[in-house]
Each structure stands twice: as C-alpha cells, then as structure tokens.
Structure 1
Amino acid sequence: MIEQLEKLLGGPRDGALLRFSLGTAHLNAGAFERAAAYFRDALAQDPRYSAAWKGLGRALADAGQAQAALAAYREGIAVAEARGDKQAAREMTVFARRIERALAAAGPSAAPKEPT
C-alpha cells in the first residue's frame, strides 16, 4: 500500500490527504520518524488538518519524543478548537494529559515547559 501511495507523490493527487495517508501507513508499519515526516508535510499543505496534528503527536510519542509529541498535541488542540472539531480536540487532550503525567512522573528535568 505504501508503494502505491508513494507513486502518487508529485502528481495531480498529491496533497495533504495523500501525505496524511502515507503518514498513517508508515505509523501502522512502525516507521514512526517517516510517519512524522509525512504528517508534517500534510500540515505544511494544510495547517488546519486536525487529524494530521493527531497523527503527528502519535508518531512522535511512539518514536519516544514526548516533548515534541506534547507540543504537536497542544498545537493540534488549538487548531481543532478553532475549527470546532470537538472530538479531535478531546482526543488530543487525553493524549497530551497522558504525556504530561508520564513526564511529571519521570522527574522535573523531563517536565513539559509551558508555552510562552
């Protein structure tokens, strides 16, 4: 499936949805860094794509990048709330809280920093 989707890159069907689909496929295959790159590509094309923010957060979390995942979820929550996408905002809030709790349990040096 990934190969078929990658053949569409650079063509008329290339866009945020294709990049999101590739991110999801790589996420499901366990290629977290590659998935994050495709989710970032989707967001570069459509920064208001709530599902891509959620996918990016998950890919980063699964790659062991808790701080980056938390930042992605926070941005995604803001985007989803602005769009009225309440379900996505709720889901990302749950995931962000899990990361915050895990970071807090890991100690003060791992605690998330509040955005300024």
Structure 2
Amino acid sequence: MRESLEKMLTKGVDNPLLRFGLGKAWLDEGNAAQAALHLACCVAQDPKYSAAWKLLGKAHQLQGDLPAARKAWEDGILAAQAHGDKQAEKEMAVFLKKLNKTSG
C-alpha cells in the first residue's frame, strides 16, 4: 500500500489525500518521523484537514516531541471547529487533556 503511494508521489502526484495516506501508512508501520513529514505536508496543503492534524499530533507524540504534539492538536482543534468536525475536535481535546496530565 505505502509503496504504491510513494510511487504516485515520485511521479509528481502531490495532494493532501495522498500525503494523509502516506502519513497514516508510515504511522501504521511504526515510523513516526516519516509519518510526521507527510502529515505536515498534508496540513500545509490543506489546513482544514482535521484528521491529518490528529495523526500529526500522534506522530509527534510517538517521537517524544510533546510541544509539537500539543501544537498540532491545538491547531487541529481550531481546524475541526472551523470545519464542523465535532468528532475530531473531541478526540484531539481528549489527547490534549491526557498530554497535559502526563507532562504537567
């Protein structure tokens, strides 16, 4: 799956959906650093892509970059609110709450 997405990117296809797919694939494979690169591209191309913000926060969290995770989820909540994506907003609010508890 990831390989075919990588081939599309190599051929010059680049859009938020492709970047989201690559980010999720890398995250599923346990490579948070590669996931974060693609998810950051995704939200740069489409700042309202709340699902990408959610996964970007997760990728940063898995790398131990808690400030970046917090920022991604805060930005993601704003994007979700602007887009009316209540579920993503709620999930990221829970992630932030847990992050704030663990990091003080």
Scaled by the length of structure 2, the TM-score of the pair is 0.95
List, as ranges, runs of 4+ consecutive aligned residues in structure 1 with deviation greater than 6 Å.
none
The CA RMSD over aligned residues, in Å, is 1.2
1:1-116 equivalent positions in 2, closer than 5 A: 1-11=1-11, 13-104=13-104
Once residues 2 and 10 of structure 2 are traced to their aligned partners in structure 1, the CA distance between those partners, rounded to angstroms, is 15
Report SS of the residue matched to 1:8. helix
Partners in 1 of 2:17 and 2:11 — Cα distance?
A: 13
Distance 2:46 2:75 in 1: 13
Q: CA deviation at 1:14?
A: 2.6
Q: TM-score, normalised by structure 1?
A: 0.85
Percent identity between the aligned chains?
A: 46
Report which stretch shifted further, 22-31 or 5-14.
5-14
Q: Higher relative contact order at CA 8 Å, sep ≥6: structure 1 or structure 2?
A: 2
Which stretch of structure 1 is more off in the superposition, 90-99 or 11-20?
A: 11-20
Secondary structure of 2:8's match? Answer: coil
User: Which ranges of structure 1 fall in alignment gaps of 5 or more residues?
Assistant: 105-116
Highest Rg: 1 or 2?
1
Question: What is the alpha-carbon distance in structure 2 between the residues aligned to residue 10 and residue 86 of structure 1?
Answer: 35
Deviations, residues 29-84 of structure 1 (Å, cap 9, x unaligned): 11101100000011111111001100100000111111110110001001101111
- The whole-number CA distance in structure 1 between the counterparts of 2:2 and 2:25 is 6
